Amino acid sequence: MTPEDLARLHRAAFTAQRPWSESEFRDLLASPHVFLVTTDHAFALGRVIAGEAELLTIATDPAHQRQGQGLAALELYHEEAAQRGAETCFLEVAENNLPAIALYSQNGYEKTAERPGYYRQPDGSRVAAWIMTRQLTQSHP
C-alpha cells in the first residue's frame, strides 16, 4: 500500500478521530524502525526500538470489518515485530473504542496504564487512552 492508500483507508476507518494524512504515513515509513504489514483490506503500522514494539495504528476497511482482516493484520504485526527483535508490544487505544479493546484483549493485551483526556472526540469531549501491553516471547527458566 502506498501512503495515499494508507491515508484513504485510515480516513474511512477513523471517523471519530482525526485520521492520519498521506504525509504523516510517508514520514513514518521513511524511518528504518517503522514497518507496515497488510492484508487485502487492512493494515498495521508499527515500530520496534530496543526490543519493544509499538503498534502505531491499525485500520480495516469498514466494508470488511468483523471478517478477520483486523485480526490477520494484528497477527502479521506480531510476527514482524518478533522478527525485528521485539519481546513486548504496546499500544494506545481510546477507552471507548470497545471493538478494538476486545480485539486486543482477545490477543493477549492487558491494560497497563491510562492517559486521562488523551483523545478528543468529535463533540469536543475527551476520553482516556488506555495503554495495553503484551509479551511476544515467553521467558524460559
The set of catalytic residues is: 92, 104
- CA dist., res. 47 & res. 49, Å (int): 7
- The DSSP result for 50-112, as a single string, is TTEEEEEEEEE-GGGTTTTHHHHHHHHHHHHHHHTT-SEEEEEEETT-HHHHHHHHHTT-EEE
- Residue carrying the nine cell digits 478494538: 100
Q: Which residues in 31-57 are b (16+ Cβ under 10 Å) and which e?
A: eeebbbbbbebbbbbbbbeeebbbbbb
- Residue carrying the nine cell digits 508499527: 46
